[in-house]
Protein backbone atom coordinates (compact mmCIF):
# COMPACT_ATOMS: atom_id res chain seq x y z
CA UNK A 1 0.00 0.00 0.00
CA UNK A 2 1.45 3.36 -1.01
CA UNK A 3 -0.33 6.30 0.60
CA UNK A 4 -0.28 9.63 -1.17
CA UNK A 5 -0.61 12.23 1.54
CA UNK A 6 0.06 15.57 -0.15
CA UNK A 7 -3.56 15.81 -1.22
CA UNK A 8 -6.78 16.74 0.53
CA UNK A 9 -8.11 13.17 0.30
CA UNK A 10 -5.65 10.39 1.01
CA UNK A 11 -5.73 7.71 -1.63
CA UNK A 12 -3.79 4.47 -1.70
CA UNK A 13 -3.31 1.70 -4.21
CA UNK A 14 -6.15 -0.11 -2.38
CA UNK A 15 -8.65 2.69 -2.94
CA UNK A 16 -11.60 1.59 -5.10
CA UNK A 17 -12.01 2.86 -8.66
CA UNK A 18 -15.06 4.94 -7.78
CA UNK A 19 -13.24 6.62 -4.88
CA UNK A 20 -10.23 7.30 -7.08
CA UNK A 21 -12.47 8.81 -9.76
CA UNK A 22 -14.17 10.96 -7.13
CA UNK A 23 -10.77 12.07 -5.83
CA UNK A 24 -9.55 12.97 -9.33
CA UNK A 25 -12.68 14.94 -10.17
CA UNK A 26 -12.27 16.64 -6.80
CA UNK A 27 -8.87 17.92 -7.91
CA UNK A 28 -6.56 15.22 -6.58
CA UNK A 29 -4.28 14.65 -9.51
CA UNK A 30 -2.14 12.04 -7.80
CA UNK A 31 -5.20 9.82 -7.58
CA UNK A 32 -5.10 9.76 -11.36
CA UNK A 33 -1.57 8.41 -11.21
CA UNK A 34 -2.90 5.44 -9.26
CA UNK A 35 -5.55 4.90 -11.93
CA UNK A 36 -2.85 4.97 -14.63
CA UNK A 37 -0.70 2.49 -12.71
CA UNK A 38 -3.69 0.23 -12.06
CA UNK A 39 -4.83 0.05 -15.67
CA UNK A 40 -1.54 0.39 -17.52
CA UNK A 41 -1.48 -3.35 -18.18
CA UNK A 42 -5.03 -3.55 -19.52
CA UNK A 43 -4.56 -0.53 -21.76
CA UNK A 44 -1.13 -1.73 -22.90
CA UNK A 45 -2.52 -5.17 -23.79
CA UNK A 46 -5.34 -3.61 -25.80
CA UNK A 47 -3.29 -1.07 -27.74
CA UNK A 48 -0.31 -3.36 -28.38
CA UNK A 49 -2.65 -6.11 -29.62
CA UNK A 50 -4.46 -3.62 -31.81
CA UNK A 51 -1.44 -1.76 -33.18
CA UNK A 52 1.50 -4.09 -32.74
CA UNK A 53 4.01 -1.29 -32.85
CA UNK A 54 5.13 -0.73 -29.27
CA UNK A 55 6.25 2.89 -29.74
CA UNK A 56 3.00 3.89 -31.36
CA UNK A 57 1.08 1.80 -28.83
CA UNK A 58 2.68 3.70 -25.95
CA UNK A 59 1.71 7.01 -27.57
CA UNK A 60 -1.86 5.83 -28.07
CA UNK A 61 -1.99 4.50 -24.51
CA UNK A 62 -0.88 7.91 -23.27
CA UNK A 63 -3.56 9.62 -25.38
CA UNK A 64 -6.07 7.15 -23.95
CA UNK A 65 -5.14 8.10 -20.39
CA UNK A 66 -5.19 11.83 -21.12
CA UNK A 67 -8.59 11.54 -22.81
CA UNK A 68 -9.85 9.50 -19.86
CA UNK A 69 -8.64 12.23 -17.48
CA UNK A 70 -10.53 14.89 -19.43
CA UNK A 71 -13.64 12.73 -19.69
CA UNK A 72 -13.64 11.62 -16.04
CA UNK A 73 -16.34 14.11 -14.98
CA UNK A 74 -18.65 12.47 -17.52
CA UNK A 75 -17.98 8.96 -16.16
CA UNK A 76 -21.14 8.00 -14.33
CA UNK A 77 -20.19 4.46 -13.39
CA UNK A 78 -22.77 2.67 -15.55
CA UNK A 79 -20.00 0.39 -16.87
CA UNK A 80 -16.97 -0.72 -14.88
CA UNK A 81 -14.06 1.69 -15.07
CA UNK A 82 -11.96 -0.89 -16.92
CA UNK A 83 -14.70 -1.30 -19.54
CA UNK A 84 -15.00 2.47 -19.91
CA UNK A 85 -11.23 2.85 -20.28
CA UNK A 86 -11.08 -0.03 -22.77
CA UNK A 87 -13.67 1.74 -24.91
CA UNK A 88 -11.42 4.78 -25.11
CA UNK A 89 -8.34 2.61 -25.81
CA UNK A 90 -10.07 0.67 -28.60
CA UNK A 91 -11.49 3.80 -30.21
CA UNK A 92 -8.11 5.52 -30.05
CA UNK A 93 -6.45 2.46 -31.58
CA UNK A 94 -9.02 2.28 -34.38
CA UNK A 95 -8.55 6.00 -35.07
CA UNK A 96 -4.78 5.51 -35.19
CA UNK A 97 -5.16 2.58 -37.59
CA UNK A 98 -7.44 4.64 -39.84
CA UNK A 99 -4.98 7.54 -39.85
CA UNK A 100 -2.13 5.18 -40.57
CA UNK A 101 -4.04 3.51 -43.39
CA UNK A 102 -4.83 6.85 -44.96
CA UNK A 103 -1.31 8.22 -44.73
CA UNK A 104 1.11 5.33 -45.12
CA UNK A 105 -0.81 2.56 -46.78
CA UNK A 106 2.17 1.23 -48.65
CA UNK A 107 4.47 1.36 -45.60
CA UNK A 108 2.03 -0.49 -43.38
CA UNK A 109 3.23 -4.02 -44.10
CA UNK A 110 6.86 -3.06 -43.68
CA UNK A 111 6.13 -1.47 -40.31
CA UNK A 112 4.19 -4.50 -39.21
CA UNK A 113 7.11 -6.79 -40.01
CA UNK A 114 9.45 -4.77 -37.81
CA UNK A 115 7.17 -4.02 -34.95
CA UNK A 116 7.08 -7.35 -33.21
CA UNK A 117 10.67 -7.18 -32.02
CA UNK A 118 9.59 -4.33 -29.79
CA UNK A 119 6.72 -6.05 -28.01
CA UNK A 120 7.53 -6.67 -24.33
CA UNK A 121 8.81 -10.22 -24.03
CA UNK A 122 10.15 -10.55 -20.52
CA UNK A 123 11.66 -13.92 -19.72
CA UNK A 124 10.70 -15.52 -23.04
CA UNK A 125 12.60 -18.38 -24.59
CA UNK A 126 13.25 -18.20 -28.31
CA UNK A 127 10.47 -20.67 -28.98
CA UNK A 128 8.00 -18.70 -26.86
CA UNK A 129 9.09 -15.52 -28.58
CA UNK A 130 8.57 -17.00 -32.03
CA UNK A 131 5.19 -18.37 -31.01
CA UNK A 132 4.17 -15.04 -29.63
CA UNK A 133 5.28 -13.23 -32.75
CA UNK A 134 3.31 -15.65 -34.87
CA UNK A 135 0.21 -15.09 -32.74
CA UNK A 136 0.56 -11.31 -32.87
CA UNK A 137 1.23 -11.40 -36.59
CA UNK A 138 -1.90 -13.51 -37.10
CA UNK A 139 -3.91 -11.02 -35.09
CA UNK A 140 -2.55 -8.13 -37.15
CA UNK A 141 -3.74 -9.80 -40.32
CA UNK A 142 -7.33 -9.24 -39.24
CA UNK A 143 -9.18 -6.13 -40.30
CA UNK A 144 -9.18 -3.56 -37.45
CA UNK A 145 -12.91 -4.00 -36.71
CA UNK A 146 -12.51 -7.77 -36.40
CA UNK A 147 -9.25 -7.38 -34.52
CA UNK A 148 -10.95 -5.16 -31.95
CA UNK A 149 -13.54 -7.86 -31.26
CA UNK A 150 -10.87 -10.56 -31.07
CA UNK A 151 -8.70 -8.50 -28.72
CA UNK A 152 -11.57 -7.75 -26.37
CA UNK A 153 -13.08 -11.23 -26.35
CA UNK A 154 -10.07 -13.49 -26.77
CA UNK A 155 -7.16 -11.52 -25.34
CA UNK A 156 -8.82 -9.40 -22.67
CA UNK A 157 -11.49 -11.96 -21.86
CA UNK A 158 -14.48 -9.62 -21.93
CA UNK A 159 -17.92 -11.18 -22.39
CA UNK A 160 -19.79 -10.64 -25.66
CA UNK A 161 -22.09 -8.14 -23.93
CA UNK A 162 -19.15 -6.21 -22.51
CA UNK A 163 -17.39 -6.20 -25.87
CA UNK A 164 -20.61 -4.96 -27.48
CA UNK A 165 -20.82 -2.24 -24.85
CA UNK A 166 -17.20 -1.20 -25.39
CA UNK A 167 -17.51 -1.14 -29.16
CA UNK A 168 -21.05 0.25 -29.00
CA UNK A 169 -22.26 -2.40 -31.39
CA UNK A 170 -25.22 -4.77 -31.28
CA UNK A 171 -24.41 -8.14 -29.66
CA UNK A 172 -25.25 -9.90 -32.93
CA UNK A 173 -22.63 -7.87 -34.81
CA UNK A 174 -20.02 -8.70 -32.19
CA UNK A 175 -20.88 -12.39 -32.42
CA UNK A 176 -20.69 -12.45 -36.21
CA UNK A 177 -17.39 -10.53 -36.23
CA UNK A 178 -16.02 -12.83 -33.56
CA UNK A 179 -16.97 -15.92 -35.53
CA UNK A 180 -15.23 -14.54 -38.61
CA UNK A 181 -12.20 -13.41 -36.60
CA UNK A 182 -11.89 -16.83 -34.95
CA UNK A 183 -12.07 -18.58 -38.30
CA UNK A 184 -9.37 -16.36 -39.80
CA UNK A 185 -7.19 -16.55 -36.69
CA UNK A 186 -7.42 -20.32 -36.50
CA UNK A 187 -6.42 -20.59 -40.17
CA UNK A 188 -3.54 -18.14 -39.69
CA UNK A 189 -2.30 -19.90 -36.57
CA UNK A 190 -2.46 -23.31 -38.24
CA UNK A 191 -0.17 -21.93 -40.94
CA UNK A 192 2.25 -20.22 -38.59
CA UNK A 193 2.52 -22.57 -35.61
Judged by beta carbon, residue 107 or residue 186, the one nearer other proteins is 186
Phi-psi region at 26: left, alpha or beta (left = phi > 0; alpha = psi -120 to 50): alpha
| Measured distance CA(172)–CA(191) in Å, rounded | 29
97 by DSSP, 3-state: which?
Answer: helix
Judged by beta carbon, residue 8 or residue 41, the one nearer other proteins is 41
| Measured distance CA(21)–CA(32) in Å, rounded | 8
Shortest approach of other proteins to residue 124 CB, angstroms? 9
Site residues for other proteins, 88-127, by CB under 8 A, read: 119-120, 122
Shortest approach of other proteins to residue 170 CB, angstroms? 19
- 4 - beta bridge partners? 11
Shortest approach of other proteins to residue 73 CB, angstroms? 15
88 by DSSP, 3-state: which?
Answer: helix
Determine whether 123 is exposed, middle or buried from the number of CB atoms within 10 Å of its CB (0-12, 13-18, 19+).
exposed
Site residues for other proteins, 134-153, by CB under 8 A, read: 135-136, 139, 150
Shortest approach of other proteins to residue 106 CB, angstroms? 27
| Measured distance CA(53)–CA(187) in Å, rounded | 23
- Does 83 bind other proteins (CB under 8 A)? Our answer is no
- Does 82 bind other proteins (CB under 8 A)? Our answer is no
Question: What does the binding site for other proteins look like in residue numbers (CB under 8 A)?
Answer: 29, 32-33, 36-37, 40-41, 44-45, 48-49, 54, 57-58, 61-62, 65-66, 69, 119-120, 122, 128, 131-132, 135-136, 139, 150, 154-157, 179, 182, 185-186, 189, 193
Amino acid sequence: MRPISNNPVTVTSDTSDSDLVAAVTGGNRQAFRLIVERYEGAVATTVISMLGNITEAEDIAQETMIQAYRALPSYKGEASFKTWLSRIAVNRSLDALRRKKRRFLWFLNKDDDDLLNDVPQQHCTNQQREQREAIQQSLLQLQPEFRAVAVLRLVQGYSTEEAADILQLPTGTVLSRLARAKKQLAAQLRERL
